[in-house]
């Protein structure tokens, strides 16, 4: 898939040829003026401007809650603006549903992909728009041959090699994304909205996605691009609009501005540092060690140590086995062989309960699916891993203790919530992450595995979480940071264990290494000297 760059150039022409170019082609493709959106009691957007030209990638940046997704929902017809105008191809339009905006040529690809796992790629691309064929005079039957051929043509246009008959279930996230893009192309989309498209892609997959985006640009598609990964934007983004607190801040040519300037506009203050200064220094005392951890077909012979006051990074590509090792140490997945030692004691761990009892915590990368009981309030989530501390010997909850614990950690971690009875699903990603951290702090955990702790979290909250990790390390807690963002690894860790295909290919001193060196180990070019 990634070895076919030669096929991209002709495909550009193919996409362009399949599209009717506008007669005038001068004005913007899409233009939003003075858009406001009010929900009962909240003004989500006020007087926002946005315009999109043909063949450009226009990034929309802002912290969580800045109004990006509200704006996208207005463009795609999910919401109707309270006031303001939408001009699409020079005409004023009111989309009252996504079906209408799709028919007009506006497609949106959500962060959580919307594919039906059990249907084939082709069936997904043409879902609810299946080509029909007659049966007793009516169009009751799906024209399978046409369906397949049409889907194949869409995929070929993108230059991706996915069998249209395969069920979506077995595809990687990147492949699913390509299917979504193919679906958008099949709609003859002229505006394509992409929400955090790279958040779960590997480097290579991101490269491929960018290639496809460049081709779409060349064919005249306007792309609205939402991402927290500002560093990637330089490669594809033409202009950038910044929103803050539902208000329009600025629109600039990307080349004429800097990432620092964008970030400071997003947060409304200049952010001097992305990472806090580390206050802890590792001592020689080893508090945690893993020896020869193996799980057949997943990871092999993994050994690492963690010293007092140290933050150890787990770097590597997605699927290299970092999460799997952490989950196995935590007892969430089985382990074939290997020993785990904490404070000189060898542990026998067969379930998360064993690990928690020993003092090991794992903060999942998927907060909503694995980290929180999202319907339950803040206090119940905060104490869930340590009910023994807030209950008596008859198993009855001491509500005074629970309230105190929840309030203590809400203020310690500076969690923004109207009350400790607030269901956690109503909180922002950063605050949810802090609640999970609070849960494990309340459990008095001795070793914490942070799995992608800042994914999808805004800049300000990221810094707070980095500070917490540093304070934990300084307080003698062992911290393992699993991250796909190399700047984060370089900025926060003391040493970094680099994973490649289920093995640790190198353990590097963070101060003495570079992004390039880590990538060499992560991609398997550099191997440990044995």
Partner 1 sequence: MAEITEVSKQKSMSFSDRQKDIIQKFAALGSLFVLIAVFSLTSSAFFTVNNGMTIALQVTSIALLGIGATCVIITGGIDLSVGSVLALSGVVAALAVKDFGTPVWLGMLVGILTGTVCGFINGLLVTKMRLPPFIATLGMMMIARGVALQITGARAVSGLGESFGELGNGSFLRIVNIGDDGFPTIVFPGIPYPVILMVAIALAVSFMLNRSVLGRHIYAVGSNPDAARLSGVNVTRIVSFTYVLSGTLAGLTGCVLMSRLVTAQPNEGVMYELDAIASAVIGGTSLMGGVGTISGTAIGAFVIGILRNGLNMNGVSAFTQQIIIGLVILVTVWIDQLRNRR
Closest to partner 1 by CB, 153 or 446: 446
Considering all CA atoms of the chain, what is the largest pairwise distance in Å, rounded to the nearest integer?
Answer: 81
Binding mask 335-354 for partner 1 (x = CB under 8 A): -----------------xx-
How far apart CA 393 and CA 258 sit, in angstroms, is 59
| Count of residues that interact with partner 1, criterion CB under 8 A | 48
Contact between 329 and 497 (Cβ < 8 Å) = no
Pick from 375, 388, 429, 380: nearest CA to 409: 380
Give CA–CA dist 405/440, Å, rounded: 12
Query: Are 417 and 427 contacting, i.e. CB atoms less than 8 angstroms apart?
Result: yes
For residue 255, give Cα distances in angstroms to 106, 206, 234: 27, 21, 8
Evaluate whether 239 touches 58 at the Cβ level (below 8 Å).
yes
Which lies closer to partner 1 via its Cβ, residue 208 or residue 479?
479
354 versus 517: smaller Cβ distance to partner 1: 354
371 near partner 1 (CB under 8 A): yes
Judged by beta carbon, residue 332 or residue 507, the one nearer partner 1 is 332
Residue from 127, 149, 255, 373 in contact with partner 1 (CB under 8 A): 373
- The Cβ of residue 392 has, within 10 Å, a number of other Cβ atoms equal to 10
Q: Name beta bridge partners: 223.
A: 57, 192
Q: What's the CA gap between 493 and 482, in Å, rounded?
A: 10
Residue 193: CB minimum distance to partner 1, A: 22
Contact flag: residue 65 with partner 1 (CB under 8 A): yes
Choose among 56, 79, 430, 416: nearest CA to 246. Answer: 79
Least distance between partner 1 and beta carbon 74 (Å): 17
Dist. CA 435–CA 150, nearest whole Å: 48
Q: Partners of 244 in the beta sheet?
A: 247
Q: In this structure, what are the phi and psi dihedrals at residue 429, rounded to the nearest 5 degrees?
A: -55, -40
Q: Are strands 447-451 and 478-482 parallel, antiparallel or unpaired?
A: parallel
Q: Is 362 in the site for partner 1 (CB under 8 A)?
A: yes
Instruction: Report if residue 372 touches partner 1, rule: CB under 8 A.
Output: yes
Say if CB 98 and CB 77 are below 8 A apart. Answer: yes
d(CA 314, CA 316): 7
Binding window for partner 1 (CB under 8 A); candidates: 95-103, 122-130, 391-399, 403-411: 391-399
Stretch that binds partner 1, among 20-28, 58-66, 175-183, 204-212 (CB under 8 A): 58-66
With beta carbons less than 8 A apart as the criterion, state whether 470 and 311 touch. yes
- What lies within 8 Å, CB to CB, of 271 at 6+ separation is 260, 263, 264, 459, 463
Closest CA to 216 of 27, 62, 52, 3: 52
Pick from 23, 256, 348, 369 the residue near partner 1 by CB under 8 A.
369
Shortest Cβ distance from residue 94 to partner 1 (Å)?
23
Nearest Cα to Cα of residue 84 among 52, 51, 46: 46
According to the binding rule CB under 8 A, does residue 444 interact with partner 1? Answer: no
Helix (H) or strand (E) segment spanning residue 489: helix 486-492
Give the shortest CB-153-to-partner 1 separation in angstroms: 39
**Integer CA distances (angstroms), 268 to 32, 251, 271, in order:** 23, 15, 9
Least distance to partner 1 from the beta carbon of 177, Å? 24
Among positions 284, 418, 512, 530, the unique one binding partner 1 when judged by CB under 8 A:
418
Identify which of residues 41 and 344 has a Cβ nearer to partner 1 in the complex.
Answer: 41
Cβ at position 370, least distance to partner 1 in Å: 5
Q: Does 426 bind partner 1 (CB under 8 A)?
A: yes
Which part of the chain contacts partner 1 (CB under 8 A), choosing from 8-16, 170-178, 182-190, 363-371? 363-371
Least separation in angstroms between CB 245 and partner 1: 5
Quick one: which of 84, 282, 460, 491 contacts partner 1 (CB under 8 A)? 460
Q: Which one, 120 or 386, has the nearer CB to partner 1?
A: 386
Candidates 51, 56, 63, 190: give the one binding partner 1 (CB under 8 A).
63
**Binding to partner 1 by residue 10, rule CB under 8 A?**
no
Strand order in the sheet with 311-316: 360-363, 447-451, 478-482, 311-316, 495-500, 503-509
Q: How far is the CB of 96 from partner 1 (least distance, A)?
A: 18
Nearer to partner 1, 215 or 458 (CB): 458
> Does residue 439 bind partner 1 (CB under 8 A)?
yes
CB of 44 to partner 1, least distance (A): 8
Contact flag: residue 157 with partner 1 (CB under 8 A)? no
Rounded least distance, CB 408 to partner 1, Å: 19
Say how many C-beta atoms besides its own lie within 10 A of residue 245's C-beta.
Answer: 15
Direct distance between the N- and C-terminal alpha carbons of the chain, in angstroms, rounded to an integer: 33
Our finding on whether 416 is near partner 1 (CB under 8 A) is yes
In whole angstroms, the minimum distance from the beta carbon of 218 to partner 1 comes to 37
The smaller minimum CB distance to partner 1, of residues 63 and 238, is found at 63
Which residues make up the interface to partner 1 (CB under 8 A)? 40-42, 63, 65-66, 244-246, 267-268, 330, 332, 352-353, 356-357, 362, 364, 369-376, 380, 384-385, 387-388, 391, 395-397, 416-419, 422-423, 426-428, 439, 458, 460
């Amino acid at each position: 898939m990634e070895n076919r760059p030669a096929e991209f150039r002709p495909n550009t022409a193919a996409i362009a040829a399949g599209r009717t170019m506008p007669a005038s082609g001068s004005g913007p493709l899409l233009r939003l003026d003075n858009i406001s959106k009010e929900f009962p009691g909240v003004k989500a957007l006020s007087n926002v401007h946005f315009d999109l030209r043909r063949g450009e990638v226009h990034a929309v940046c802002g912290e969580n809650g800045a109004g990006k997704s509200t704006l996208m929902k207005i463009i795609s017809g999910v919401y109707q603006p309270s006031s303001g105008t939408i001009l699409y191809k020079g005409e004023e339009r009111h989309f009252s549903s996504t079906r209408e905006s799709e028919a007009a040529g506006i497609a949106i690809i959500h962060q959580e992909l919307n594919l039906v796992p059990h249907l084939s790629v082709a069936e997904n691309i043409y879902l609810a728009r299946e080509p029909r064929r007659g049966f007793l005079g009516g169009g009751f039957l799906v024209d399978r041959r046409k369906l397949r051929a049409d889907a194949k043509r869409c995929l070929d246009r993108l230059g991706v090699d996915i069998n249209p008959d395969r069920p979506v279930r077995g595809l990687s996230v990147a492949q699913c994304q390509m299917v979504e893009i193919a679906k958008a192309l099949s709609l003859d989309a002229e505006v394509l909205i992409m929400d955090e498209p790279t958040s779960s892609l590997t480097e290579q997959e991101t490269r491929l996605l960018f290639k496809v985006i460049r081709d779409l640009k060349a064919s005249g598609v306007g792309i609205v691009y939402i991402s927290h990964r500002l560093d990637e934007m330089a490669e594809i983004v033409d202009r950038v609009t910044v929103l803050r607190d539902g208000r329009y801040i600025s629109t600039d040519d990307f080349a004429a501005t800097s990432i620092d300037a964008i970030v400071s506009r997003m947060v409304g203050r200049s952010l001097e540092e992305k990472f806090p200064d580390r206050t802890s220094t590792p001592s020689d005392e080893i508090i945690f060690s893993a020896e020869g951890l193996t799980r057949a077909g997943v990871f092999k012979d993994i050994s690492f140590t963690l010293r007092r006051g140290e933050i150890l990074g787990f770097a590597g590509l997605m699927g290299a086995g970092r999460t799997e090792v952490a989950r196995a140490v935590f007892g969430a997945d089985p382990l074939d062989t290997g020993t785990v030692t904490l404070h000189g004691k060898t542990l026998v761990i067969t379930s998360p309960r064993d690990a928690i009892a020993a003092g090991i915590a794992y903060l999942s990368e998927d907060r909503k699916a694995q980290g929180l009981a999202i319907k339950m309030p803040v206090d119940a989530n905060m104490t869930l891993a340590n009910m023994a501390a807030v209950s008596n010997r008859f198993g009855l909850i001491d509500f005074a203790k629970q309230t105190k614990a929840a309030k203590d950690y809400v203020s310690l971690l500076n969690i923004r919530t109207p009350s400790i009875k607030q269901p956690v699903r109503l909180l922002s990603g950063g605050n949810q992450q802090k609640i999970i951290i609070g849960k494990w702090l309340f459990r008095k955990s001795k070793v914490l595995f942070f799995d992608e702790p800042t994914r999808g979290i805004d800049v300000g909250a990221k810094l707070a979480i980095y500070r917490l990790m540093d304070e934990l390390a300084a307080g003698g807690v062992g911290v393992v940071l699993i991250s796909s963002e190399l700047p984060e690894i370089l900025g926060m860790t003391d040493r970094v264990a680099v994973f490649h295909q289920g093995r640790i290919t190198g353990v590097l001193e963070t101060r003495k290494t570079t992004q390039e060196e880590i990538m060499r180990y992560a991609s398997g070019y550099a191997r440990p000297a044995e």
